[in-house]
């Protein structure tokens, strides 16, 4: 059957059309991800907690606030100040304004510095907050580490890993806030009592009950530096006001942006499915044709091995081999491909047996065609549509098997997959805490991807089964 005819039949059915559209979408997203994500996304980004430190933990997606949920938006404020030109004088490096609408204060406040350079003496940095009621809180002070013995200037600090202070928990920040409350509101409080209420205190006024009433308005965060020499510079200052919601898909318990992890899963899932399916279909068809056409002892050996391999419970063997040989994705693919071909070989053989006794084969043989030519030109082309349908049908099996394996904690850490995201959610108790945004989307994506291939297989049914074609 010509490829065009196969396509026509596929496109004429509703499920085939839906499947093709879904598949194009999957391929498109995968291509975008491959082009825009770094190669080492798994190890350097996804499994690197430092990279996600400034994100809120276990936060639902931002759009949930549109559905009536309360919450705070996540805000990241970044500035790249110019190098200081005057020495011995305090200069404002950056100033951020934050409009607080209330009632819920940000979930955390963090402050980071990167690439600090100084000529002689370390600069001193301060963070002050001006509140809507006109009062100013000197919230934080940081002295950049001085020269080490034997080191020569200019000195560079925080070049590779930025300095990060989580002000919500930083003892000196809590201390500063406590003294601010004592001075301005006469509230006798201790840093211990302020623990966990830092944001509420900063963005509110104390009530007689000992709580804090939100104080809406514009807050100005000013970062100043006392530089000793001209040329002292701070590469980047960054202030994060943690939200209670985050991004399109929320975050997990480490603050990782789930949208990015899920996106990365697209090309990975497609590759697992398609590569496994290609290899096992190739082996299965090859051996099936040989088994059916050659017959005799070769046939018996191939069929008996099929019987045995086809009867091996896959998941236990997969768990065992991956556990013993190491958690590598290519190993998973290789094992799945190795155990995946027998079913196809059995069916291909029975089809070849029918074709072998047909007139076409007899005619080509009498024309002097070689065995290989008959097997892999004339017979293969007759069963090609069936093989194609089988290949598509087998694709989700590998995706589902990998997801199951990852769910058992045997995923390849260097390549995040949907199954792994789900497993981490399950293991950290996201299911019992009701973090639906963490466990539903990866599962839904696995099901949708598997369903795409099932739909295409359904659409291809008339190609494989001619009886269905006539009734149409």
Partner 1 sequence: MQYAPTIDMSLALTLALRGLTLLGVLLVVLALVVVSLGATGFSDRVLNAVIREELRGIREGLARTIRDPDQLEQALATRKQVLEQQYGLDRPWYYRLPDTAQRVLTLDLGEARSLRSSSGSARVSDILIERIPRTLALVTTATFITAILGLWLGVKLATRAGSKLDRLVSYMSAASYALPAWWMGILLILVFAFYIRVFPSGGMYSAPPPPGGVSRALDFAWHALLPVITLVLVTLGAWVYVVRTMVLNTAQEFFVTVARAKGLPEGTVMRRYILRVAAPPILTNLVLALTGSIGGAILTETVFNWPGMGRLYYEAILAADEGVIVALTFLFTLLYVAARFLLEVFYVTLDPRVRYS
The nearer residue to partner 1, 80 or 305, going by C-beta atoms, is 305
Is it true that the peptide bond before 103 is cis, omega within 30 degrees of 0? yes
Name residues whose C-beta falls within 8 Å of residue 394's C-beta, 6 or more positions apart in sequence: 276, 277, 280, 281, 340, 344
Of the pair 121, 270, the CB lying nearest partner 1 is at 270
d(CA 374, CA 371) in angstroms, rounded, equals: 5
- Closer by beta carbon to partner 1, 163 or else 436: 436
Helix (H), strand (E) counts: the chain: 17, 11
Whether the CB-CB separation of 57 and 255 falls below 8 Å is answered with yes
Minimal distance in Å, beta carbon 309 to partner 1?
8
Q: Which candidate, 250, 255, 132, places its Cα nearest to that of 202?
A: 132
Minimum CB separation of residue 328 from partner 1 in Å reads 14
- CB-wise, 38 or 432, nearer to partner 1? 432
Catalog residues that contact partner 1 under the rule CB under 8 A. 304, 307-317, 319-321, 323-325, 396, 400-401, 403-404, 407-410, 422, 426, 431-434, 436, 439-440, 443, 446-447, 450-451, 454, 458
Q: Tokens at residue 329, please?
A: 């994705």
In whole angstroms, give the CA distance from residue 149 to residue 19: 67
**For 123-154, b where at least 16 C-beta lie within 10 A, e where not — what string?**
bebbbbbbbeeeeebebbebebeeeeeeeeee
Minimum distance of partner 1 from residue 317's CB (angstroms): 7
Min separation Cβ 304 and partner 1, Å: 7
Minimum distance from residue 391 beta carbon to partner 1 (Å): 16
CB of 12 to partner 1, least distance (A): 17
CA atoms within 13 A on the CB side of 104: 15
Q: Name the residue among 166, 211, 161, 205 with its Cα closest to residue 185.
A: 205
Task: Check: CB of residue 226 under 8 Å from CB of residue 90.
Answer: yes
Closest separation between CB of residue 270 and partner 1, Å? 15
Report in angstroms how near the CB of residue 13 gets to partner 1 at its nearest.
Answer: 12
Residue located via tokens 């499915």: 273
Q: Which is nearer to partner 1, 259 or 319 (CB)?
A: 319
Residue 39 or 467 having the CB closest to partner 1: 467
Q: Which two tokens stand for residue 383?
A: 């069963």
Looking at beta carbons only, is 230 or 434 nearer to partner 1? 434
Quote the least distance from Cβ 316 to partner 1, whole Å.
4
| Residue closer to partner 1, measured from CB, 255 or 396 | 396
Instruction: Give the integer Cα–Cα distance in Å for 259 and 36.
Output: 14
Q: Which H or E run includes 225?
A: strand 217-227
Nearer Cβ to partner 1 (385/396): 396
Residue count (the chain): 472
| Residues 399, 273: Cα–Cα separation, whole Å | 5
């Amino acid at each position: 059957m010509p490829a065009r005819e196969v396509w026509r039949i596929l496109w004429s059915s509703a499920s085939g059309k839906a499947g093709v559209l879904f598949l194009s979408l999957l391929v498109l997203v995968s291509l975008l991800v491959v082009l825009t994500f770094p190669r080492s996304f798994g190890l350097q980004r996804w499994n690197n907690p430092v990279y996600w430190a400034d994100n809120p933990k276990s936060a639902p997606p931002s759009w949930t606030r549109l559905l009536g949920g309360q919450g705070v938006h996540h805000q990241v404020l970044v500035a790249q100040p110019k190098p200081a030109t005057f020495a011995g004088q305090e200069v404002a490096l950056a100033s951020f304004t934050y409009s607080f609408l209330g009632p819920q204060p940000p979930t955390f406040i963090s402050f980071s510095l990167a690439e600090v350079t100084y000529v002689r003496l370390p600069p001193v940095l301060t963070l002050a907050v001006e509140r809507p009621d006109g009062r100013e809180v000197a919230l934080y002070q940081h002295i950049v580490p001085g020269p080490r013995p034997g080191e020569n200037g200019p000195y560079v600090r925080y070049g590779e890993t930025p300095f990060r202070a989580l002000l919500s928990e930083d003892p000196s920040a809590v201390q500063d806030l406590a003294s601010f409350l004592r001075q301005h509101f006469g509230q006798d409080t201790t840093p211990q009592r302020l623990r966990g209420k830092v944001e509420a205190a900063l963005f509110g006024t104390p009530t007689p009950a000992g709580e804090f009433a939100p104080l809406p308005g514009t807050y100005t965060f000013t970062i100043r530096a006392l530089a000793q020499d001209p040329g002292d510079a701070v590469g980047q200052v960054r202030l994060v006001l943690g939200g209670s919601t985050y991004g399109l898909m929320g975050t997990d318990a480490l603050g990782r942006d789930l949208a990015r992890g899920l996106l990365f899963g697209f090309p990975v899932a497609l590759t697992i499915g398609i590569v496994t399916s290609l290899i096992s279909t190739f082996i299965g068809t090859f051996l099936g044709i040989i088994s059916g056409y050659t017959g005799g002892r070769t046939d018996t050996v191939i069929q008996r091995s099929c019987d045995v391999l086809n009867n091996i419970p896959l998941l236990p063997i997969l768990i065992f081999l991956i556990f013993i040989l190491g958690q590598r994705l290519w190993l998973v693919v290789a094992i799945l491909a190795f155990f995946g071909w027998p079913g196809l070989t059995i069916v291909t053989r029975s089809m070849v047996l029918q074709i072998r006794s047909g007139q076409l084969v007899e005619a080509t043989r009498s024309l002097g065609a070689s065995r290989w030519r008959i097997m892999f030109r004339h017979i293969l082309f007759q069963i090609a549509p069936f093989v194609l349908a089988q290949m598509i049908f087998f694709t989700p099996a590998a995706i589902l098997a990998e997801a199951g394996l990852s769910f058992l904690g045997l995923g390849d850490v260097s390549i995040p997959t949907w199954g792994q995201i789900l497993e981490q959610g399950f293991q950290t108790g996201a299911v019992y805490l009701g973090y639906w945004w963490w466990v539903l989307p990866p599962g839904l994506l696995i099901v949708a991807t598997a369903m795409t291939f099932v739909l295409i297989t359904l659409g291809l049914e008339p190609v494989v089964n001619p009886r269905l074609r006539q009734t149409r």
